[in-house]
Amino acid sequence: MGFAESDLTHDRFLDGKLRVWQPKAGYRAGVDPVLLAATVPAQAGDSVLELGCGVGVANLCLSARVFGLDLTGIEVQPDYAELAQRNADENGHDMTVHCADLRALPESVLQRNFDHVIANPPYYLRDRGTAAMDAGRETALGEATPLADWIDAATRRLKPKGHLTVIQDAERLPALLSALDDRLGNVRVLPLAPRVGRSAHLVILQARKSGRAAFRLLAPVVMHEGVAHDGDRESYSAEIRAVLRDGAALALQSR
């Protein structure tokens, strides 16, 4: 059925390089998918599969930085999948979006392997906290499919030496690491700290199929300048501002 036009906003990402339709109420993409896209080591011509693509922001931000990508999105919620396809088409990016559960992927996806699989899985366990009132927001934020299923589905779809990149709440890092098996190596974890001296609230994990390099816990990236919030103004660090405004890369390999 889809969202009514009156229920949507048309939002700017990457300082207006992308204009994205998303619901006024429900799950709304913020900085997390932009940060995820920035860390993907894609090159022109690569294929990218995004599991749980929402309205398509991560794939589209990646495509804005690296031209000539072959993009595929999987989204379980029909209304969001429809918006993701619309956003890709209106922004002129080549992406095919499938409305499907990642545990029952379409045959056309199962027959392929990808250079990159990316994901921004739900952060919160359903047995903790209060469920969101909006069904779309709850599906996006509350874990229904175990994190291990996300990692297994992603690993199966990777080419040998392909990269998996995932952003997740820092509290879920133990579960994320335990979901990895010997099919993946070269594991790097980048903590994202809100300010200097503060604990990381997000992590980005990247691994390589058939990789054999040792695990690396990277130095944190600090999101905001200053030690505390000091007013209603943008306070992103220069590195994060370049990612969010200019679509710059946040390369894990060079850290």
Predicted pLDDT of residue 135: 47
Q: What share of the chain has pLDDT > 90, as a percent?
A: 84
Tell whether 162 is covered by a domain. yes
9 pairs with which residues across the strands? 22
Q: How many domains does the chain have?
A: 1
Q: Which amino acid is at 233?
A: R
- pLDDT tens track for 182-227: 999 999 999 999 999 999 999 999 999 999 999 999 999 999 997 6
Tell whether 115 is covered by a domain. yes
Tell whether 218 is covered by a domain. no
Task: State the SS3 of the chain.
Answer: CCCCHHHEEEEEECCCCEEEEEECCCCCCCCHHHHHHHCCCCCCCCEEEEECCCCCHHHHHHHHHCCCCEEEEEECCHHHHHHHHHHHHHHCCCEEEEECCCCCCCHHHHCCCEEEEEECCCCEECCCCCCCCCHHHHHHHEECCCHHHHHHHHHHHEEEEEEEEEEEEHHHHHHHHHCCCCCEEEEEEEEEECCCCCCCCEEEEEEEECCCCCCEECCCEECECCCCCCCCCCCECHHHHHHHHHCCCCCCCCC
Predicted pLDDT of residue 134: 40
Tell whether 201 is covered by a domain. no
Predicted pLDDT of residue 1: 59
Tell whether 204 is covered by a domain. no
Predicted pLDDT of residue 54: 96
> Would you say residue 126 has pLDDT above 90?
no
Tell whether 193 is covered by a domain. no
Tell whether 143 is covered by a domain. yes
- pLDDT tens track for 88-110: 999 999 999 999 999 999 999 99
* pTM > 0.75: yes or no: yes
Tell whether 176 is covered by a domain. yes
CATH of the domain at 178: 3.40.50.150
Q: How far is CA 163 from the centre of its chain?
A: 13
Domain of 169 in residue numbering reads as 11-183
- pLDDT tens track for 20-49: 999 999 899 999 999 999 999 999 999 999
The residue that leads in pLDDT, 27 or 14, is: 14
- pLDDT tens track for 226-244: 766 665 667 899 999 999 9
Predicted pLDDT of residue 233: 60
